[in-house]
Amino acid sequence: MEKFNKIICFGAGTKVCTSKGKKNIVQIRTGDKIISYNHNLVILEEITVDRIANSRHSIINKTTFSNNTSIESTIDHPFWVVGKGWCSVNPASTSENYNLQVGQISIGDECIYFDNGNLVKIKITKTNIIKGDFAMYAISGGKNHCFFANGFLVHDENLLNLELTTSHVKYNDFSLACRPASI
Q: What's the pLDDT at 66? A: 98
Q: How many CA atoms lie within 13 A of 87 on its CB side?
A: 23
Contact at 8 Å (CB) between 82 and 169?
Answer: yes
Superfamily of domain 10-178: Hedgehog/Intein (Hint) domain (2.170.16.10)
For 161, the 3-state DSSP assignment is helix
Low-confidence winner among 11-20, 35-44, 163-172 (lowest mean pLDDT): 163-172
pLDDT digits (tens, 9 = 90+) for 152-179: 999 987 644 434 333 444 433 333 333 3
Please give the model's pTM, rounded to 2 decimal places.
Answer: 0.84
Contact at 8 Å (CB) between 79 and 60?
Answer: no
CA distances 140 to 21, 76, 148, Å, are: 18, 16, 12
Q: Considering only CA atoms, which of 152, 19, 141, 142 is closest in space to residue 73?
A: 152
Contact at 8 Å (CB) between 106 and 48?
Answer: no
Please state the separation of Cα 139 from the chain's center in Å.
11
Low-confidence winner among 2-11, 25-34, 91-100, 128-137 (lowest mean pLDDT): 2-11
pLDDT digits (tens, 9 = 90+) for 116-143: 889 999 999 999 999 999 999 999 888 8
Strands 10-11 and 110-115: unpaired
Domain-wise residue ranges, the chain: 10-178
CA distances 72 to 32, 126, 127, 130, Å, are: 22, 12, 10, 9
